[in-house]
Structure 1
Amino acid sequence: MISWSHRHLLLLLFFGFQEARAVLPGTWELLVPDAGIASMHTAVTHFNTVVLLDRTHIGPSRKLLPEHHCQPSQGDPLLRHGRDCTAHSVILDLQTNTIRPLTILTDTWCSSGQFLPDGTLLHTGGDLEGWKKFRKFTPCDANSLCDWEELQDIELSQGRWYATNQILPDGSIIIIGGKTSNSVEFFPPRKSGAVMFSFLGEVEDNQMDNLYPYVHLLPTGQLFIFANNKAVLYDYNTNTVAKNYPILDGGPRNYPSAGSSVMLPLTGDYSSATVVICGGAQYGAYLERTTDTPAHGSCGRIEATGLDPVWEMEDMPFGRIMGDMVMLPTGDVLIINGAQAGTQGFEMASQPCLFPVLYRPSEPVGLRFMTLNPGSVPRMYHSTANLLPDGRILLAGSNPHYFYKFNAEFPTELSIEAFSPEYLSPDKANIRPVLVDLPEKVGYGEVFTAAVTVELPVVGVIEVNFASAPFSTHSFSQGQRLVKLTVTSPVPDGAGKYKITCTSPPGGRVAPPGYYMVFAVNQGVPSIALWVHLGS
């Protein structure tokens, strides 16, 4: 039996690239031709705006700050007169696709982030004077002028460059690793400061493949942490390793070898969690700067909560590095962006992978991957992908150069695009639900009612799913999770309206407190999400 992904590849060979675009699922849309900056960090706020961040010390961007808002250049050799009058962070209004400049003072190069329970984006670390910084962005509506705040009264205990952040069940943030920082610490800061985490040092190699570790909060309250080719079950309360998982074959997967990872949706009684890790560079590509070394396309899948788990291996249709794995409202995973050769780092990759791939976790091995409609814009090093409340995927960034460079084979990319999966196609409009009633806030374990309208009569169950708003950077979305609620069958309430009784997640281990996009999903087609604040 030939899988859908193999059929699609045959179509590519037979019809050619342009013809294949007409038959493969998904559509592309240019949202902003020139955002002024290339975003290496991107996050969606509960005001339906998007925060985009680049680094400083790269000379002027193409987005001016407001008049009289110039900042000291901090020694940037590309800036004249010792000041910078351009933005290195912007905010996108999703209603109008307009861009407003934001002010960032300290270098955010290869930093990390996570939303706090109140919806504030906490941003940590970076390079140079940003190494120990805490920053906050408290989002606001499109008519207000919220901006970055650099915290002055506290700082990181240890400098963090290429670290990973994860919100915990109590709403605090754990900050893990970074270059020369094989430790963990917390926000709000704890008296213990930075605590050494020996696992990161044990997996560090001469390529530094322990950077931007993949971190997933399991429903047990423990952390699944993966770096290089190994993973552990980590108890952050006691700073102990509760379990060592088997080695994942295929070489290193973390920065700079650039695979990606997701935790699959939490469902049922929420006792089980499965992690998937896909792609990566061949070991040595970073050291030898071999831009044409083929990436590998293997994926490992493991039940992280199992008693004696093993990796289940399968192959993607394409080798891929620097791909982003985005959890869709349906529970499928979109793999997008990246390249097919080389490694992460400046000028160190080639052969952009323009084809998104859909990973369908409920299908058997061999039938899980579907090749989708290719884009036309290479999105390689320092690019991002984020789920939007309307179900589209926002694509931003790509700057494989130390500075902005627009006359290269793979130029600095300032545009912002959106990819629409097949579930947004016009022929599915009559089964797409519309959320018309939802509480603005729910507590843990609370029973509440959601109401939807649907053009055609509903057949079967309508899912109600909570999707987090993660911090996307360097091929990993920090804090990404999808929780499928326990629901009753929809009850007709006249005029195409249906009421659904839902039970919210039982606690912070399943869904940490904060704002979630809530999607109703009918026959694989999601609604536009409404935001709900979850917490006790």
Structure 2
Amino acid sequence: MLTTKLLWSLLAAMAVVADPAPGTFELIADQGISQLIMFLGSQNKLYTMDRSNNNPLKVNGKAIWAAEFDLGNRQTRPMTLAKNPFCAGGSSLGDGRFLVVGGQSPETGSAEGRKAIRLLDPRIGTPYWDESSPPLTTNRWYVTVETLTDGSAIIIGGSTALVYVNSWAYDNPTYEFYPSRGAPKKMQLLADTTTLNLYALTWLLPSGKLFIQSGNTASLFDPNAGVETRGFSNVPFSVRVYPGSGASASLPQTPDNNWDLRVFICGGTNSNWSLGQAVTKLKSDNSCISISPDKGEKSWTTEDSMDQGRVMGEFVSLPDGRLFLVNGALSGTAGYSFSGWPVGESLADPPAFEAKYYDPSKPQGQRWSSAGSSTIPRMYHSSATLLPDGSVAIAGSNPNGSYQSKANRKYFSDSRIEYFYPDYFGKPRPKPTGLPTQLKYGGNWFNVALTAADLNGAQPQSVKAVVIRGGFATHGIHMGQRHVQLKTSYTATPDGALTLHVSQIPPNPAIIAPGPALLFIVVNGVPSQGQYITVGDGVIGTQSIAPVQDLPVAGSGSVVPIANGTLPTTPIPPPVTNASNPVPSNVASASIGSVIAPVSSASPVLSSPPASVPPAVSSVPPVVSSVVPPPSSAAPPPVSTTPKPQTTTAAPPPPPPTTTSKAPAPTTTTKAPVPPPPTTTKAAPWSPPPWVWPTAWIPGANGFGAAGYKRAMNAGQ
């Protein structure tokens, strides 16, 4: 009889070789933490973070809220993390490390996280979170991070305390940098949009400036000079930033559009942002808008609408140029509460189970199509990210203030990972050779070889080289996500093979910032396995820029042009030692957690995962008590208690009857039929209800309301 451990090892191996069906969702594993943060840190490793809850993932009885997930064996390795990362921000850096900053005050055994700087180098043997850096200058919760042209990061805004929307009492309308450039500086856009300035949507433009959208306002911001430029029209139809939370992305930057960056946002929710209303019944928006700031556009363009509204949706950029929309809800807002007639604690309901494709290359009115449906509600605190094989990892959902089991909440703390397999999984995949592991700005072109079988009858003109920066995913936002198509030509040889001549990154680090990314070769819309690469010099600092070598003329011939020089085909080596901090003795090196067997003809179907998570192996060193430092002695907020969204001065009205329909049936191995083009009726302009100053916000003798809010001078409200 097979032991349980051996059985699960066999199932894990079978899961890896199973042939996934296109257009389907597959349950992969249960990590034991709800993945409110997720990013791809190397060719085969995902990194996830949760709030410091009493999570099922434990080492020697201590709850864990950070983990590494191995894409090969689908095992979870717990990662020690002391400082609370709840609602942090982050991005990758030019030297290959990942940065996570800010978070929340201590809870459930964690240390103060609002000033935290956390660094991860995925290249070392056993990666770990280094929290030894000097802290941020100020508390930041719901903070935005964007990587700059030198591979450093700008850290933007946030709140100093846990609130539903920001207030003048807790606002932090400033920016600073990592590595530090000194004291923080004020950003006027954030100060002018206080109640709706959390997780301000930010993009590095090819001009080197930042486009920042906060409240219903946008501006250009020069991060080096600190100069802000306004003049954009108000964001139409809906609130797109947190907690209205529309789905946002940039469209592909290609040689045809001169690598221009076009911002694209869909959905959101309007409100007067009072928890005294039935928040879950607030209608979400179905409109989509776009703008190209570097082209001088000052007004937003209305694009194809979605067939129904969505809040907390998330866009993942696919190698074929489409956007994949997943997660979120059909009404309500982001957040959790005991006020505002929540469902359990969720401020949104019902879930949006159906995923969508958006294809910007198609004619207007034909850009949306169905991608299939999941059966798992992925709402507040969900995440998704592109994997090297072109699938999408989808995880998380926890619209609660603490860990809640399925028995306690309709929308519980979900810690399962599932994969979505786009429709190109049903087609022969190209297997190019000659892919480099580092691309620089300008310089020589390089050759990629494709066989006749790789082309599968496709025309040479349909072959593309694409670099995707997956970004840092949290709260439906992908900080730093980019899709950049490289310039190419080709030589078609008489045997039916093709040599693709590929230019490196255009000589402008603002087109795609330095750091880790994935390189795909896409043949007639079907991507190869992505190669994890370094963009730039692999350092934080001014990047080298070289003249661009002209590509050979495209055509056929028996002689294939040879590029001048070669590009690296091995990754940049990790540092010999981690100079900033040696590996702590309490880093967990063992993998634990459960693998969920896939439903396929190649493996048996299990009705449920094991009843309990297998214990960590005995070689895991005990977690020493000193890993959690004492709470911060930083000055408290200007009121006596930290406001929480569930705090109100009066009991909320009883919730109305729940009318949520059942989740759709699981997607089978056949792809869901594509519906007719979505309705494109023009969305109504944003016209929220008349503002009513909530009781909990009315200022008292100290000038602040019970929830920490204070009327702005001359605000008229």
Question: Which position in structure 1 is the counterpart of 2:103?
Answer: 126
| AA at the equivalent of 2:459 | V
Q: Aligned pair in 2 of structure 1 residues 333, 164: CA closer, same or farther (>3 Å)?
A: same
Tell me whether 1:281 sits opposite 2:272 in the alignment: no
Does residue 373 (structure 1) correspond to residue 372 (structure 2)? The answer is yes
Deviations 1:106-140 (A, max 9, x none): 11010011111222111101011111110111114
Higher mean Cα deviation, 288-297 or 319-328? 288-297
Residues in 2 aligned to 1:213 and 1:358: alpha-carbon distance in whole angstroms: 25
> What residue in structure 2 maps to residue 196 of structure 1?
186
Distance in 2 of aligned mates of 1:224 and 1:443: 24
C-alpha distance 145-458 of structure 1, shift in aligned 2 (>3 A) = same
The answer to whether residue 105 in structure 2 is matched with residue 106 in structure 1 is: no
Match of 1:331 in 2: 321
In structure 2, the partner of 1:138 is 121
CA 25–281 in structure 1, closer or farther in 2 if over 3 Å, else same: farther
Match of 1:27?
Answer: 24
Q: With structure 1 as the length reference, what TM-score do the two structures score?
A: 0.86
Change (3 A) 1:248 1:376: same
| Maintained 8 Å contact 1:386/1:472 | yes
* In 1, Cα distance between equivalents of 2:467 and 2:155: 24
Is 1:209 aligned to 2:192, yes or no? no
1:168 aligns with 2:158: no
Q: Which amino acid aligns with 1:477?
A: H
Counterpart pick for 1:437 among 434, 451, 464: 434
Residue 229 of structure 1 and its aligned partner are, at CA, apart by 1.8
Aligned position for 1:254: 241
Q: After superposition, what is the alpha-carbon deviation per residue over 1:319-350, rounded to whole angstroms, capped at 9, x for unaligned?
A: 10111011111221111000001111112111
Runs (5+) with no aligned partner, structure 1: 1-23, 68-83
Distance 1:489 1:306, change over 3 A: same
Gaps of 5+ in 2: 1-20, 106-111, 160-170, 337-345, 537-543, 545-717
- Find the aligned partners of 1:530 and 1:374 in 2 and give their Cα distance: 29
Q: Paired residue for 2:129, among 148, 157, 163?
A: 148
- Higher relative contact order (CA closer than 8 Å, sequence separation 6+): 2
The one-character-per-residue Cα deviations of 1:18-47 (angstroms, maximum 9, x if unpaired) are xxxxxx971111111x21100100010124
In structure 2, the partner of 1:532 is 533
Decide whether aligned partners of structure 1 residues 155 and 492 sit closer, same or farther in structure 2, where only a CA change above 3 A counts. Answer: farther
Q: Which amino acid aligns with 2:434?
A: D
CA offset digits 1:394-430 (Å, max 9, x no partner): 10100011111122111211110011111222xx21x
- Describe the SS at the equivalent of 2:149: coil
Aligned with 2:433: secondary structure? strand
Matched residue, 1:411: 412
Q: Which letter does structure 2 place at the counterpart of 1:85?
A: K
Question: Matched residue of 2:379: which SS?
Answer: coil
Q: Deviations over 1:169-214 (max 9, x none)?
A: 01110011111111111000002x211001011122xxx3211011
Q: How far 1:155 moved relative to its partner?
A: 1.3
Shift of 1:151: 2.1
SS at match of 2:172: coil
Q: Following the alignment from structure 2 to structure 1, what is the Cα–Cα distance between the partners of residues 519 and 230?
A: 33
1:452 matched to which residue of 2?
Answer: 450
Provide the rounded CA distance (Å) in 2 between the counterparts of 1:174 and 1:289.
37
Structure 1 residue matching 2:517: 3-state secondary structure:
strand
Tell me the CA shift for residue 490 of structure 1. Answer: 4.8
Residue aligned with 1:200, SS = helix
**What is the Cα deviation at residue 525 of structure 1?**
1.0
Whole-angstrom CA distance in 2 between matches of 1:137 and 1:105: 14
Q: Structure 2: how far apart are the matches of 1:294 and 1:264? A: 27
- Other-structure match for 1:469: 470
Which deviates further from its counterpart, 504-513 or 397-406? Answer: 504-513
Matched, 1:514 2:515: yes
Q: How far apart are 1:285 and its partner, in Å?
A: 5.8
After TM superposition, the structure 1 stretch with the greater mean CA deviation from structure 2, 477-486 or 231-240, is 231-240
- Which residue in 2 is equivalent to 1:62? 56
When residues 95 and 492 of structure 1 are mapped into structure 2, their CA distance, relative to the original with a 3 A threshold, is: farther
**C-alpha separation in 1, matches of 2:274 and 2:28:** 34
What per-residue deviation string (whole Å, max 9, x for no partner) do you get for residues 297-322 of structure 1?
11111122222432121411121011
CA shift for structure 1 position 497? 5.6
CA contact (8 A) 2:146 2:155 kept: yes
Task: Find the aligned partners of 2:39 and 2:383 in 1 and give their Cα distance.
Answer: 9
Q: How many angstroms does 1:473 deviate by?
A: 0.4
Instruction: Report the counterpart of residue 488 of structure 1 in structure 2.
Output: 489
Matched-pair contact (CA < 8 Å) for 1:457–1:496: no
CA contact (8 A) 1:325 1:335 kept: yes
Q: CA deviation at 1:251?
A: 2.6
Q: TM-score, normalised by structure 2?
A: 0.65
Q: Determine if contact 1:132/1:159 at 8 Å carries over to the other structure.
A: yes
Q: CA deviation at 1:271?
A: 5.3
Matched, 1:95 2:72: yes
Contact 2:91 / 2:100 at 8 angstroms: preserved in 1?
Answer: yes
Alignment length, in residue pairs?
Answer: 482
CA drift at 1:216: 0.7
- Residues 286 and 344 in structure 1, CA contact (< 8 A), matched pair in contact too: no
How far apart are 1:159 and its partner, in Å?
1.4
Does structure 2 retain, via aligned residues, the 8 Å contact 1:168–1:512? yes
Change (3 A) 1:286 1:254: farther
Residue 230 of structure 1 corresponds to 217
Q: Are 2:294 and 1:305 aligned?
A: yes
Q: Quote how far apart the aligned CAs of 1:286 are.
A: 5.5
Aligned partners of 1:344, 1:398: CA distance in 2, in Å? 11
1:62-113 per-position Cα deviation (integer Å, ceiling 9, x unaligned): 1122x4xxxxxxxxxxxxxxxx712101110011111110011011010011
| Partner secondary structure for residue 339 of structure 1 | coil
Offset at 1:289?
Answer: 4.5
**Secondary structure of the corresponding residue to residue 174 of structure 1:** strand
* 482 and 282 in structure 1: CA distance in 2 versus 1, 3 angstrom threshold: same
Residue 242 in structure 1 maps to residue 243 in structure 2: no
Give secondary structure in 1 for the equivalent of 2:58. coil
Indicate the structure with greater strand content. 1
CA, structure 1 residues 286+460, in 2 after alignment: closer, same or farther (shift >3 Å)?
farther
Contact 1:464 1:502 in 2 (8 A): no
What residue number does 1:19 align with? none
Distance in 2, Cα, partners of 1:442 & 1:332 = 23
CA distance in 1 between partners of 2:515 and 2:432 (Å): 20
Of 444-453 and 334-343, deviating more is: 444-453
What is residue 688 of structure 2 aligned with on the other side? none
Displacement after TM superposition at 1:455 (Å):
5.6
Alpha-carbon distance in structure 2 between the residues aligned to 1:167 and 1:352: 32
SS in structure 1 at match of 2:460: coil
Offset of residue 457 of structure 1: 3.6
CA distance in 2, matches of 1:504, 1:491: 24
Whether 1:358 aligns to 2:357 is yes
